[in-house]
Structures are given as structure tokens and as C-alpha cells.
Structure 1
Amino acid sequence: MNVRYGFNATLTAKPGMGDRLVDLLSTGLDEGKPAASEHCVVYLVCRSASDPDVVHVTEGWTSEEDHHRIFAGEAAQAIVSQVQDLVAAQSPYTDYVPVAGKAF
């Protein structure tokens, strides 16, 4: 499947909560969770090399509609609710339409 819609988010966890934030975001890959969907073709959770409380998330989806539909579901909203408790700050949401690249 091709990525036709994606986004980046940078989240700054409350001090010392970076590990918990990474663990929580990683559950998005569990069966029944949003990133396990066939429509989510890229799901990367990355940590800043210089600050363990800064976490970057990159997602690539088959379509914007698929992303919004799945993100509105109960499983995704449960993760969002828990993430909000761990986050001190986040960058503006950056969506995009991929034009070239590679993902497995």
C-alpha cells in the first residue's frame, strides 16, 4: 500500500516521563490499536538524541479519511487521553502528502 497522507508530531514529556510516553505510544502497534490497522503503513516513534523527554511520532496512512476514521475510534482516543497526561508541550501538528521516499 502507498502512503497518501501522513503527519509528524513532536511531544515533550513532563520531566522524566519520556520512557512512559514512548512505551504508551508503542502500544499503538498492538493488535486492535490504530497503528496495527492495514491503513497505517508507517508508524515511527523516535526519541531525541539529546533530550530523552522529547519524542517524535511519524505516521503514514493510505488516505486522510482512513487516518481520521481510525483516529476517531475508541482505541485511538484512549491513547490520546493517556498521552495528554504525560505531555508538557507539543509542537504544532504537521500533516503532509508524501511525494517520494521509502518505508517498509
Structure 2
Amino acid sequence: MIASYGFNATLTAAPGKGADLLALLLSGLDEGSPGASEHCVVYLVSRSASDPDVVHVTEGWTSEEDHHRIFAGEAAQAIVARIGGLLAKEAEYTDYVPVRGRAAF
């Protein structure tokens, strides 16, 4: 599948909560979670090299509509509900239209 919609998010956890935030975001790859959807073609969670409380998420989706539909579901909303309590400030998002790339994990 090809991604036609995506975004990067930078999330800053409350001091000392970076590992909890990272674990929660990685749970998005579990069966039944958003990152495991066939419509999610990229779900990359990274930690800042200089600040363990800063986490970056890159997502690529088959379409913006698929992303919104999946994130309206119960599994995604459960993750989203827990994220807020871990953050020191509001997440920063940058949306994009993927052009070409490669991912091998």
C-alpha cells in the first residue's frame, strides 16, 4: 500500500515520564491498535537523542479519511485519552503528503 497522508508529531512528556509515553505510543502497534491497521503503512516512534522526555511519532496512512476513521475507534481513543496525562505541553503536529520513501525495520 502507498501512503497518501501522513504527519509527524513531537510530544514532550512531563519530566521523568518519557519512558511511559514511549511505552504507550508503542502499544499503538499492538494487534487491534491504530498502528496495526492495514491502512497505517508507517508508524515510527522515536526518542530524542538529547532529551528522553521528547518523543517523535511519524505516521503514514493510505488516506486522510482512513486515518480519521481508525482514530475515531475505541482502541485509538483509549490511547489518546491516556496521552494527555503524560504530557508537559501540547503536542506539535506537522502534516504532509508523502511523495516517496522506503522503510525497513
* TM-score of the superposed pair, with normalisation by structure 1: 0.96
Q: CA deviation at 1:93?
A: 1.8
Tell whether 2:42 aligns with 1:5.
no
How many Å separate the matches in 1 of 2:90 and 2:100? 27
The answer for the alignment partner of 1:96 in structure 2 is 96
CA contact (8 A) 1:9 1:90 kept: no
How many Å separate the matches in 1 of 2:89 and 2:47? 15
How is 1:26-65 mapped onto 2 (pairs within 5 angstroms)?
26-65=26-65
Percent pairwise identity: 74
CA contact (8 A) 2:11 2:92 kept: no
How many Å separate the matches in 2 of 1:75 and 1:91? 20
Could you give the per-residue CA deviations for residues 34-81 of structure 1, whole angstroms, max 9, x where no partner exists?
110000010011000000000000000011100000011111011001
How many Å separate the matches in 2 of 1:89 and 1:43? 22
* TM-score of the superposed pair, with normalisation by structure 2: 0.95
How many Å separate the matches in 2 of 1:35 and 1:103? 15
Which stretches of structure 1, 4 residues or longer, exceed 6 Å deviation after superposition? none
The gaps in structure 1 that reach 5 residues or longer are none
SS of 2:42 mapped into structure 1: strand
Q: CA deviation at 1:100?
A: 1.9
Root-mean-square deviation (CA, aligned residues, Å) is 0.9
The gaps in structure 2 that reach 5 residues or longer are none
